């Protein structure tokens, strides 16, 4: 499946493609993102992908997130490397190609035209739980990202898990 992590679920509940494009694809400078990021995933990989996406992007993790599933066979996409901080999302990252704002509107209108619209809800606690589990396993990618991201509040909250691991290692050695 092709999934885009939404900025706001409420936008995708709209029936206006233009409204969705204005909320989800407009940049702060007023221009439109004509190559929005998506991931080609299995359902079981959603939490991992969102956790790695949130950890590597310049964002704080939202209270809840939503994976918007695009099922159109007409999407023009290209495989591009995602964040190089995590091999998994790097390998599963694509960009949807839109020529202009009208192209984005058509992509969203196709989504709205589907009888079955799939929006996967992902809780903040699921994402944090995944990240904590990776830290407990001493995952080198997660350890590096946490150490390199001292200003991200949710990643800083993982540091106690990192310190507990060091304490446990010391106890086993001593």
User: Domain residue spans in the chain?
Assistant: 2-124
**173 or 76: whose pLDDT is higher?**
76
Strand 77-79, strand 2-5: pairing: unpaired
pLDDT value at position 147? 86
pTM beyond 0.75, yes or no? yes
Q: Which residue has the higher pLDDT, 62 or 85?
A: 85
Give the per-residue pLDDT at 79.
94
Tens of pLDDT, residue by residue over 103-149, are 999 989 888 887 677 888 999 899 999 999 999 898 999 999 988 88
pLDDT score, position 72: 67
Question: Of all residues in the chain, what percent carry a pLDDT higher than 90?
Answer: 43
Mark 8-27 as b/e (b = at least 16 C-beta within 10 Å): eeebbebeebeebbbbbbee
The yes-or-no verdict on residue 81 having pLDDT over 90 is no
pLDDT at 58 over 90: no
**pLDDT above 80 (res 163):** no
pLDDT greater than 70 at residue 1: yes
- The pLDDT assigned to 75 comes to 81
**Residues 69, 119 contacting (CB under 8 angstroms):** yes
- Residue 44 has what pLDDT? 93
pLDDT at residue 101 in the model: 95
| pLDDT for residue 71 is more than 90 | no
pLDDT of residue 39: 93
């Amino acid at each position: 499946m092709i999934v885009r992590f939404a900025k706001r679920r409420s936008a995708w509940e709209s029936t206006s493609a233009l409204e969705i494009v204005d909320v989800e694809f407009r940049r702060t400078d007023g221009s439109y993102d004509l190559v929005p990021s998506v991931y080609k995933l299995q359902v079981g990989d959603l939490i991992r992908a969102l956790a790695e996406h949130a950890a590597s992007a310049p964002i704080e993790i939202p209270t809840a997130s939503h994976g918007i599933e695009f099922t159109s066979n007409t999407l023009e996409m290209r495989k591009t490397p995602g964040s190089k901080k995590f091999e998994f999302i790097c390998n599963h990252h694509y960009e949807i190609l839109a020529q202009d704002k009208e192209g984005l509107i058509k992509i969203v209108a196709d989504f709205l035209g589907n009888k079955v619209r799939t929006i996967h809800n992902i809780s903040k606690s699921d994402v944090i739980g995944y990240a904590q589990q990776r830290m407990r396993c001493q995952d080198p990618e997660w350890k590096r990202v946490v150490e390199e991201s001292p200003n991200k509040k949710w990643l800083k909250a993982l540091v106690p898990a990192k310190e507990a691991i060091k304490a446990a290692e010391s106890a086993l050695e001593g």
